[in-house]
């Protein structure tokens, strides 16, 4: 285990649903990230939080809404998603954004129907 | 400018052989080149990383070779084992910039 825990591991949701992905890190890190992993595509950075402040929004559609209440927790709120949003969503953390190694969680496999 | 091109997409190597995965980048500002290993059902994990001040870095059976003038770097796995079967991603960034740019991944299978 890397110390980064994501829940749920699998999620199936309809296009009109609202759901949230949760990430928790037990490593004492100050930076947390959301990545999207689609088949045959590079990992795409979505959001970066450094010391609870959002420092990066990589042109992500507004139907994805991140929340970082503290340095240990990160959420990704989902609403009115599209089938092409189906992917593995990975959370990662690092001591400080961009400076130190990022540790990834196991991901949430999201299917939008 | 931000793209990292990775090849091959998939690779099958016999046990004991050498696995070689290649990456090329365009952005000359990149100065940090990590390789990540991902097993099914797991998130990527940092395997080995190199900075452009050296041409090679070795950790156990894993070696990164770096060619700054060609803007290429590669991962060599010596004495490949079935447990090395995984997907490998190269990445690049400017140190201090949290934007890691990943390659598309190589699915490596080691056969007995």
pLDDT tens digits, A10-36: 999 999 999 999 999 999 999 999 999
Reported as a pLDDT band with limits 50, 70 and 90, residue B19 is very high
What is the reported pLDDT for A105? 95
**Rounded CA separation A74/A26 (Å):** 12
Nearest to A36 by CA among A79, A89, A82, A86: A89
CB B107 within 8 A of CB A40: no
- In a mutagenesis test of the B interface, which of A42, A93, A97 is the best target, namely the one with the most B β-carbons within 10 Å? A42
Supply B89's token pair.
């991603």
Reported as a pLDDT band with limits 50, 70 and 90, residue B77 is very high
CB contact under 8 A, A106 and B46: no
A50 touches chain B (CB under 8 A): yes
Separation of CA B108 from chain center:
12
- In a mutagenesis test of the A interface, which of B29, B98, B107 is the best target, namely the one with the most A β-carbons within 10 Å? B98
Reported as a pLDDT band with limits 50, 70 and 90, residue A1 is low
B20 touches chain A (CB under 8 A): no
What is the reported pLDDT for A2? 65
What is the reported pLDDT for B100? 85
Q: Give the rounded percent of residues in chain B with a pLDDT score beyond 70.
A: 97
Say which residues have a Cβ less than 8 Å from residue B60's Cβ, sequence separation at least 6. Answer: none
What is the reported pLDDT for A96? 79
Looking at the predicted structure, is the pLDDT value of residue B88 above 60?
Answer: yes
For chains A and B, what is the number of CB pairs under 8 angstroms? Answer: 58
Domains and CATH numbers, chain B: 4-111 (2.60.40.10)
Reported as a pLDDT band with limits 50, 70 and 90, residue B95 is confident
CB contact under 8 A, A99 and B41: no
What is the reported pLDDT for A45? 92
């Amino acid at each position: 285990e890397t110390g980064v825990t994501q829940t749920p591991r699998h999620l199936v949701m309809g296009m009109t649903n609202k759901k949230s992905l949760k990430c928790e890190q037990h490593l004492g890190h100050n930076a947390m990230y959301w990545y999207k992993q689609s088949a045959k595509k590079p990992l795409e950075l979505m959001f970066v939080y450094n010391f609870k402040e959002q420092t990066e929004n990589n042109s992500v559609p507004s139907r994805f809404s991140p929340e970082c209440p503290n340095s240990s927790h990160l959420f990704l709120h989902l609403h009115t998603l599209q089938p092409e949003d189906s992917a593995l969503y990975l959370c990662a953390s690092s001591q400080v954004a961009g400076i130190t190694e990022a540790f990834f969680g196991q991901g949430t496999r999201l299917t939008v129907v | 400018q931000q793209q990292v091109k990775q090849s091959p997409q998939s690779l099958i190597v016999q046990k004991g052989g050498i696995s070689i995965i290649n990456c090329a980048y365009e952005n000359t500002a990149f100065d940090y080149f990590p390789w990540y290993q991902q097993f099914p059902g797991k998130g990527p994990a940092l395997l080995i990383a190199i900075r452009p001040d050296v041409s090679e870095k070795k950790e156990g059976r894993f070696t990164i070779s770096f060619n700054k003038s060609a803007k290429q770097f590669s991962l060599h796995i010596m004495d490949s084992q079935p447990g090395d079967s995984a997907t490998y991603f190269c990445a690049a960034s400017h140190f201090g910039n949290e934007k890691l740019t990943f390659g598309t991944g190589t699915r490596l299978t080691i056969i007995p």
